[in-house]
Structure 1
Amino acid sequence: MQDAKEIVTVRDVRKRFGETVALDGLTVTIRPGEVHAIVGENGSGKSTLAKILSGVLNADSGEVKVLGETPLDPIQARKIGVATIFQEVLVADNLTIVDNLFAGTDTLWRRGRSPADARRQSREMLLRFTGLDLDPDMPVRNLPLSVRQWIVIARALLCNPKVLILDESSAALDLEATAKLHVEIRKLRDAGCCIVIVTHRIAELIRITDRATVLRDGKTVGELVGKEITEANLLALMSPKRSLQEIRPETRNPARIAAGETALSGSRIGVRVGAAPFDFTLRSGEILGVTGLDGQGQSHFLRVAAGILPPFSGRIAAAEGGAERPISSLAEASDHGIVYVSGDRAREGIFPNLSIFENFAIALYRSCFGQFGWIRNGPVDALYQKERQRLAIRAGRASNRITSLSGGNQQKVLIARALAAEPKVIVLDDPARGVDLQTKRDLYIQLKAFTAGGGAVIYLSSEIEEFFDFADRVMVFRNGSLFRTLSGTEIAEHALLAAMFGHTDDIEPLVSKLEEAS
């Protein structure tokens, strides 16, 4: 029987997907009025647990109770009082904001509110969350990823849930937006709601979590409470043989970077109307970080650098044979050795109906044509096996659909695809969004090796912690333009936060204010 002090009880739960064991005797309990984090490496079973609690999946064996009932499908889970925000941003692109917000709340015969009330509530919620006065009848397809994420969050909050499950729901949000989400989470917690958070953003866990359960290989390996929830303690439980220094390998070598040749440059670049133009240079052997609050132009800049979008003004050029080669299209960027990896893998990265191997190989087939136009799979398969081992991709058969992999391993496949193309420049748009510490470590090591061999990297991240001891320089964007570039020892939390909020000096009060808000 479920303890009266527990709102969620999971005991000895097992779940398999063919040969893959996702949960192997998992046990966890969650209490009302607490924020409970589920932590572990990619493939440890976190998202599987979230789907079982949401009724999307059923356990093979064991006990699952939410408010005394076992959720067997999403409709029943919703009636019990469970609302889930999954890792992928689940919106219907061609529907309006208001239709996406209230999807599933109305039936064929009954509406919970009038159309006018629904539009008003939609406008008010998104204004509160995003600061934008958006037309509720606007289709969501052209909205930024962060706004689409807020629509998904708002849709869950509209249900007045008793149990709220957030599976990497802040991964698409910047620092300021995450602080707003934390305010909403605390309001729900204080009202007695049970909040379950699945996240790899360690700073987020430390600030907001009351308890944390750590999973490894589908099992519970430990629990931390209150001040015990630290990066070192979490890492020790998740990966007991690894240290923080292994996760964040030292990469800076100013002398080597300064001696590097120009790999990519931009002159008088403008990324939107009215924004100040700026210059930039990326050198061989360099990891150039890019950050800023959401919507400040940094994502647009990355797409310009990768040839996906033309600049509003100015020009991008690759260095080749001592000459500058203008880049004005994705094809030209590819011809000059520039590859792009999106952080929005569901929309811009994977082909969900294709296999793991096909997703890896799709950009490589052009170089593997044999006689009479036949594709030679042998060389591609050898590359796949090499990159799979190098990036420690946890996968079953290569013929399985890529959606059979965890989100972190899907992202590894995309990065492996980029590295296998032997590029000169890799442009990464928040590649570690929603992936665990070990996956980040694997990525850092591979990018370090890539730049040591003369390659160059542009790396956008919404988590400023990623740049510490990793990036050689960091470009901070504000108001659609480059605001400040930091290098070496300047790359520290206070300096980055200050620049993101428009200050040129490190300011301790700003950090304290943000921590209080979150």
Structure 2
Amino acid sequence: MIASNRSITKSSSGTAPPEEELAIYVKNANKSFGVTRALNDVSFRASFGEIQAIIGGNGCGKSTMAKVLAGVLKVDSGEVSIMGHAPTTPSDARKMGVAMVFQEVMVADEATIAENLYAGADSLWAKAMPNSEKIARSRVLMRELVGSDVDPQRLAAGLSLGVKAWITIGRALLSKPKILILDESSAALDFDSTERLFTKIRELRDNGTAVLIVTHRIAELIRICDRATVMRDGRNVGVLSKSEITESNLLGLMAGKTETRKTPEAAGYQALASQVVLKTSNLKVWPNAEPVNFDLRRGEIIGVTGLEGQGQDPFVRILAGTADSVESYPIAETGGSGSAAEIRDLQSAKANGIEFVSGDRKREGILPNLSIFENLLCALYPKHKFGSKLNLINWPELEGIFNYEVQRLSIKTGPRSNLITSLSGGNQQKVLIGRAFSLRPKILILNDPARGIDVGTKREFYQHLRDFADEGNSVVYMSSELEEFIGLCSRVAVFRNGSIFDTLTDADVDPRLILESMFGQTRGTKAAAKANRVTPVQAAPRALAAEVPRFPSQSASAIRIVTSEKAPMTKAPALDPMGRPIKIRYF
């Protein structure tokens, strides 16, 4: 049933429920940061042996609530009880059995994987266990979580964002928590990794752990959660039971009105012209990978995806000039006169109107010691100055740009002089997107840009991208959320083994078909082109031959990736990281 604040803080007799029956009990909690009221008379409860979501728009207070429960923040007023006790510090919460995985991936790059996993486990005078045992346990845990062997003595600095996310999750699991709080923990994970996380979460629930998930991914929430608490403007506006957790109910409570799901367009956003503005020819991402031949047309929004570690991340970075290729360079033709320029580094990318936005905002985006205003506009300082020798900044011009981007992207800010870290993670990400738009690029390279952004803001962001393309600009949109491509991208390039395995176009831009391609269950662009004697782009719609196994057309409640030595083979069998054949089961 949908319950109001009042109904969840009292039992049928009108008194607060016995605290020992609950894992978490919060009543009339308030928390303010200056003039911003993050929690406004919030009441909340969670039981052992259940998975509960806390969901809401950016800046609604859900991450603040999670930090209060983990002892990171203290409420200004109200009651907070964790198994009958009130934690006042993170150390108190840990002693009670509370473990939290924060939205930002907290990993020390200078430390090894094992050292990161066991950070905080040792006391001042004694070690929790010998180093050799830590390394052995780390190896087993990371193999279970990542799905392949990972050297626990390797430094974290060179790891992908997905593997770093697993380290933070593993650190929490090692504490064997009674209460596990996950704040956007799946945001840095691809589909396969998310499935492994869900398996672990269900296992914890079945063993009696209370699991709280703070998330924006509604499709995942519907599948995994037993209950959902919806927050808006610092208030708890409703609680949904398992049967009531639907997209329309969630969006209605989040927005304060009834919303219906928009039907995706049959085809994605179409390019305005055939003019190619960015291309690669025989470019190699890895030494032993197949060459990548890719083109981006004027006014086009093209999607890029793949399983974790299949080469799509370094590829988009090569396009943006932030990473080096093994062979060849991207060619940009954005000048309009037919002149071409190689993209060899960040400087040449910027000279050709290419801007990059990363989903890893902590490492590659925000400047934590600067204000919201400075983070959004610092890249514009050289363009808005006067006085040839004094180099004075034209503040009135920048103020107008700041106000425009904040209003356009609906960024919830306090005073603009506040540090960027005072904003929620989603609003920090919107500042980075606003920074890119303010530079007026011709090509946007986006690496999981909507990570941490709520569903309502995502819809607005997609419309901004369409408007951007309408003006004759182009977008490369990399994402691990397959649903993001529907109605947005006219083409999706699927990476596998360091190269484009398949390119899906128009009606074939469908989550099921994309997923099949990610696991090598389609014929691939190269094979289809050879069989039909057409170009790879033309071949994409024909690449899914009838004899290749597909998901059924009816909706399935879940999808499971299964490794099996006896899995039925296609002409080009898919292999998991251990080299075993993969088959996809649906039920």
1:427-446 superposed Cα distances (whole Å, 9 cap, x missing partner): 01001112111221221111
Determine the structure 2 residue equivalent to 1:490.
Answer: 508
2:419 to 395, 398, 401: 401
Determine the structure 2 residue equivalent to 1:461.
Answer: 479
Determine the structure 2 residue equivalent to 1:159.
Answer: 175
Q: CA deviation at 1:185?
A: 0.6
Q: Which secondary structure does the structure 1 equivalent of 2:21 belong to?
A: coil
Determine the structure 2 residue equivalent to 1:513.
Answer: 560
Aligned residues: CA RMSD: 1.8
Q: Which has the bigger relative contact order, CA under 8 A and spacing at least 6?
A: 1
Distance 2:417 2:508 in 1: 46
Distance 2:204 2:273 in 1: 54
Q: How many residues align?
A: 516
Q: CA deviation at 1:247?
A: 9.8
Distance 2:84 2:377 in 1: 48
Aligned ranges 1:58-137 → 2 under 5 Å:
58-137=74-153
Q: Which secondary structure does the structure 2 equivalent of 1:113 belong to?
A: coil
Q: CA deviation at 1:249?
A: 7.8
1:387 to 387, 405, 415: 405
Q: Is the 8 A contact 1:11 1:27 kept in 2?
A: yes
1:30 aligned onto 2:46? yes
Determine the structure 2 residue equivalent to 1:376.
Answer: 394
Call closer, same or farther: CA 1:359–1:174 in 2, change over 3 Å: same
1:306 aligned onto 2:324? no
Q: Is the 8 A contact 1:249 1:445 kept in 2?
A: no
Call closer, same or farther: CA 1:513–1:279 in 2, change over 3 Å: same
Q: CA deviation at 1:39?
A: 0.6
Determine the structure 2 residue equivalent to 1:275.
Answer: 289
Aligned ranges 1:338-353 → 2 under 5 Å:
338-353=354-369
1:316 aligned onto 2:330? yes
Distance 1:486 1:130 in 2: 28
> Greater shift after overlay, 383-392 or 331-340?
383-392
Determine the structure 2 residue equivalent to 1:207.
Answer: 223
Determine the structure 2 residue equivalent to 1:236.
Answer: 252
Query: What is the one-letter code of the residue matched to 1:512?
Result: I
TM-score by length of 2: 0.85
Q: CA deviation at 1:245?
A: 5.3
Q: Is the 8 A contact 2:490 2:506 kept in 1?
A: yes
Determine the structure 1 residue equivalent to 2:530.
Answer: none
Q: Is the 8 A contact 1:180 1:517 kept in 2?
A: no
1:443 aligned onto 2:461? yes
Q: Is the 8 A contact 2:52 2:226 kept in 1?
A: yes
Query: What is the one-letter code of the residue matched to 1:167?
Result: D
Q: Which secondary structure does the structure 2 equivalent of 1:110 belong to?
A: coil
Query: What is the one-letter code of the residue matched to 1:451?
Result: A
Distance 2:471 2:409 in 1: 17
Q: Is the 8 A contact 1:179 1:517 kept in 2?
A: no
Q: CA deviation at 1:107?
A: 0.6
Call closer, same or farther: CA 1:517–1:61 in 2, change over 3 Å: farther
Q: CA deviation at 1:258?
A: 6.0
Q: Is the 8 A contact 2:299 2:473 kept in 1?
A: yes
Distance 1:159 1:35 in 2: 18
**Larger Rg computed on CA atoms:** 2
Long gaps (5+) in structure 2:
1-15, 523-543, 562-583
Long gaps (5+) in structure 1:
none
Call closer, same or farther: CA 1:253–1:56 in 2, change over 3 Å: closer
Distance 1:231 1:279 in 2: 39
Q: CA deviation at 1:244?
A: 4.9
Q: Which secondary structure does the structure 1 equivalent of 2:111 belong to?
A: coil
Query: What is the one-letter code of the residue matched to 2:560?
Result: K
Call closer, same or farther: CA 1:516–1:83 in 2, change over 3 Å: farther
Q: Is the 8 A contact 2:266 2:507 kept in 1?
A: no
